[in-house]
């Protein structure tokens, strides 16, 4: 097992994931709610953690093997759920224990649909947006997004794709290159999301609720 390469991948993915905190920061700034500081703190912690993991092994260029891909996927979901729970845990509203925050984060990223929160109408806009963003990322599979990004950083992504995708379809590709397959899936996903947003907006929802 190439532990140094695995750490490099996890470090890169954590740094990429940290930027998912930016949209909720903007939402908190627009609506002036209590989420601004928690999301900014979570962004810094996640970014620096990924950076510290990546720096010592940044020059390791070995190709990931299939067994390495499985390890990365397990670490990926665990570490991302942990870092994704930070805004929930740090936010003064709602007050959540670490267990509840981790559950909410993991439920979102895996699109389980379960929640421990009540009184959603009274939650800060940034928290509401972040919950839906986690589910949106999990809906396609955040590893598929990583597969589209990692080849640009010199990291092979096919092993991650095979480890993440269930069933025999994992050996079939929509396009000759796995990076192009991931990009095509995300273009379709994004297009459908925009179409649904416009439909909700046209039906009378305000912009935030439609998104």
Q: What is the pLDDT of residues 128-185, one digit of tens each?
A: 999 999 999 988 876 666 665 555 445 555 555 555 555 555 455 444 566 677 778 8
Please spell the DSSP secondary structure of 97-147, one letter per residue. Answer: -HHHHHHHHHHHHTT--------GGGS-HHHHHHHHHHHHHHHH-HHHHHH
Predicted TM-score (pTM) of this structure:
0.81
C-alpha distance from residue 96 to each of 27, 92, 100, 102, 208 (Å): 21, 8, 6, 9, 24
Distance CA(78)–CA(199), nearest Å, equals: 35
Task: Tell which wins on pLDDT, 109 or 65.
Answer: 109
**What is the reported pLDDT for 31?**
95
Distance CA(149)–CA(163), nearest Å, equals: 17
- Cβ–Cβ contacts within 10 Å for residue 57, how many? 17
**What is the reported pLDDT for 139?**
84
Helix (H, G, I), strand (E, B) or coil at 117: coil
């Amino acid at each position: 097992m190439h532990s140094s390469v695995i750490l490099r991948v996890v470090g890169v993915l954590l740094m990429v994931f940290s930027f998912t905190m930016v949209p909720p920061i903007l939402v908190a700034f627009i609506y002036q709610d209590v989420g601004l500081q928690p999301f900014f703190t979570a962004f810094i912690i996640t970014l620096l953690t990924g950076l510290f993991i990546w720096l010592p092994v940044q020059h390791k260029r070995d190709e990931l093997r299939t067994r390495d891909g499985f390890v990365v996927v397990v670490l990926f979901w665990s570490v991302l759920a942990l870092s994704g729970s930070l805004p929930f845990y740090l936010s003064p509203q709602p007050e959540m224990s670490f267990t509840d925050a981790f559950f909410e984060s993991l439920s979102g990223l895996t699109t389980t649909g379960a929640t421990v929160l009540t009184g959603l109408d009274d939650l800060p806009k940034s928290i509401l947006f972040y919950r839906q963003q986690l589910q949106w990322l999990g809906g396609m599979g955040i590893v598929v997004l990583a597969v589209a990004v990692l080849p640009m950083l010199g990291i092979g992504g096919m092993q991650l794709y095979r480890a993440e995708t269930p069933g025999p379809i994992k050996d079939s590709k929509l396009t000759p290159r796995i990076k192009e397959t991931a990009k095509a899936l995300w273009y379709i996903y994004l297009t459908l999301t925009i179409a649904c947003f416009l439909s909700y907006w046209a039906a009378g929802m305000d912009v935030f609720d439609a998104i």
